[in-house]
Amino acid sequence: MEKIFNLQQLINGIQLGSIYALIALGYTMVYGIVRLINFAHGDFFMIGAYASYFVIIFGTLRGYHIPVILVFIISIAAGSIAAVLANKIAYKPLRYKPRISALITALGVSMFIEYLFSALPFIGPSYRAFPNEQFIKSKIFEFGNTTISNYIIIDVLVSVGLMIFLTYIVKYTRIGMAMRAVSQDKDAAKLMGIDIEKIITITFIVGGGLAGAAGLLTGVSYPRIFPYMGVLPGLKAFIAAVLGGIGNIPGAMLGSYIMGISETFATSYNSLLGEGIAFAILILVLLFRPQGLLGETVAEKV
C-alpha cells in the first residue's frame, strides 16, 4: 500500500489536476451559459501554448527577456481571440437551431483548427520543444525524499487564483448577473434588456482566455507542444467538468483535482489503469449522480 499512497504521488496528482482545472473551468463556463459543449476548447488551449511559444522564441532570438506577465497576457489573448472567432463564425448562426447541430459544429471546428495548424508551414504537425527554461527557470525544492518544483506551485496558484476570479465575476458583478440570467432563460433575459450576444461573446472571451493560460502552463510544465496536444487533456477536462457538475465553477475545480489525483495513483499502480480511470469515473458519475458532485438538479422546462 505504501507503494501507492505517498506524498510525492499526491503532489504529482495535484499538478495534473491543476492543468485539467484550467481547461475544465472554461468548458464548464461556456456550457453553463451557452449550453454548448464546446469541443474546440482543447484547441484554444493549444493555440494559447503556440502563441506563448512564438513570443518566447521571438524574445530569445532578439536577445531580450519578455516579461512573464506579458507572455501570460498574450497566451490569454490568443485563446480569447480564437474563441470569439469560433463563436462568430461557427456557433452564432446556429444559436436557435437544435442543440445537436451546434455540438456537431463544435466537433468540426475542433478538427478544423487541428488540421489547419498541422498544415501551416510555420507550425506543422511535429513536436516542438517549448522554451520553458527561457521563460521561468525551474527550481526544485526537496523535503526529505519528497520534491516539489516551482512549476507545480505556479500551476496550482494560477488555477486556484483564476477560479476565485471567475467565481467573483459570475457571482458579484453586473456582467456575471447578466451571464446567469442568460443561462437561465435567454428570451426573458432579452426582454429585460440584456444584449445576450454580447454576454455570450464575453463568456467566450473568458473561457478561451482560461484555455490559453492553461496552454502556457502546460507548455511550461510539460515542454513539448504539437497541434493535437489539446485533444486528450480537453477530453479529460470535460470529464472533470461533468464529474464536478457541468456549469458549476467550484465543481469543475473539484472534479479536476479528483481526476488528476486518482489518475496519478492509478497510474502508479498500473499505467494502463491510469489512462482508463477517467472514463470509469465518468460512467460511475453518470450512473449514480448524473448532475455531478456539486451540480444541482434542474427541472426540465416543459
Please give the residue ranges that form the binding site for another protein (CB under 8 A).
Answer: 3, 6, 8-9, 12-13, 15-16, 118, 124-127, 129-130, 132-133, 138, 140, 142, 145, 147, 149, 151, 218, 222-224, 229, 232, 264-265, 267-268, 271-272, 274-275
Measured from the CB atom, the residue of 271 and 297 that comes closer to another protein is 271
The answer to whether 248 touches 295, Cβ cutoff 8 Å, is yes
Q: How far is the CB of 228 from another protein (least distance, A)?
A: 9
Q: How far is the CB of 123 from another protein (least distance, A)?
A: 11
Q: How far is the CB of 63 from another protein (least distance, A)?
A: 18
Measured from the CB atom, the residue of 98 and 144 that comes closer to another protein is 144
Measured from the CB atom, the residue of 133 and 185 that comes closer to another protein is 133
Measured from the CB atom, the residue of 9 and 256 that comes closer to another protein is 9
Helices (H), the chain: 7-34, 41-62, 68-86, 99-119, 132-135, 150-172, 174-184, 186-191, 196-221, 231-244, 249-269, 271-288
Q: How far is the CB of 94 from another protein (least distance, A)?
A: 32
Q: Indicate the residue type of 235.
A: L
Residue 84, phi then psi, degrees to nearest 5: -65, -45
Q: C-alpha angle 113/117/121, rounded to 5°?
A: 155
Bridge partners for 141 per DSSP: 148
Q: How far is the CB of 132 from another protein (least distance, A)?
A: 8
Measured from the CB atom, the residue of 28 and 221 that comes closer to another protein is 221
Which own/partner contact pairs does 112-115 have at CB distance under 8 Å and 24+ positions apart?
Answer: 113/40, 113/43, 113/46, 113/47, 113/82, 114/43, 114/46, 114/227, 114/228, 114/230, 114/231, 115/227
Q: Grid coordinates standing for 190?
A: 432579452
The answer to whether 173 touches 8, Cβ cutoff 8 Å, is no
Closest CA to 55 of 43, 45, 68, 46: 68
Measured from the CB atom, the residue of 91 and 265 that comes closer to another protein is 265
Measured from the CB atom, the residue of 2 and 300 that comes closer to another protein is 2
Q: How far is the CB of 175 from another protein (least distance, A)?
A: 35
Q: How far is the CB of 113 from another protein (least distance, A)?
A: 17
